[in-house]
Amino acid sequence: MATTARTAERLARLLGPGARTRPMMGEYVLYWRDRVVGGLYDERLLLKDVAAVREAAPDAPLEEPYPGARPLRRLPLPDDEHSAGALVELLEAAWDQVPPPQRRCGKRDRGPRWSR
């Protein structure tokens, strides 16, 4: 069962301005302050398995978002502002531990054709 757009919009709204979701291959990637921290897969909130997430939720099970993928930590979807606030604190701690987005190389970055 794929994640619905309504679930993704609700999560982004509960988490506030630092959060955004983006549809990708039928599911949703979760960004916190423009870094990928996890995603929504089959109505499950899965976060990257970084030290901050392991410390904050040591009992959170590792689950694959899809067969063959790297396992992520499953956390409950927040129901209200209070539980969303706890998740925001966790995302802030995890933000430092996930890599920044890679700069995409476009045609303008390659330079003139004759200089290669």
In whole angstroms, give the CA distance from residue 47 to residue 62.
Answer: 9
Residues 56, 17 contacting (CB under 8 angstroms): no
The pTM (predicted TM-score) of the whole model is 0.85
Contacts of 32 (CB under 8 A, 6+ apart): 15, 18, 19, 91, 92, 94, 95
Residue 5 confidence (pLDDT): 96
**Fold type of domain 5-115:** Yope Regulator; Chain: A, (3.30.1460)
Per-domain boundaries in the chain: 5-115
Please choose, from the candidates 70, 67, 45, 69, the residue with its C-alpha nearest in 3D space to the C-alpha of residue 57: 45
Q: Record the tokens describing residue 90, joined without a space.
A: 């966790």
**Tens digit of pLDDT at every position of the chain (116 positions):** 789 999 999 999 999 999 999 999 889 999 999 999 999 999 999 999 999 999 999 999 999 999 999 999 999 999 999 999 999 999 999 999 998 988 877 666 555 666 55
Residue 39 confidence (pLDDT): 97
Residue 101 confidence (pLDDT): 86
Residue 1 confidence (pLDDT): 72
Residue 114 confidence (pLDDT): 60
Q: What is the DSSP string of 28-76?
A: EEEEETTEEEEEEETTEEEE---HHHHHH-TTPPEE-SSTTSPPEEEEP
Q: What is the DSSP string of 99-113?
A: PPPPPPP-GGGG--G
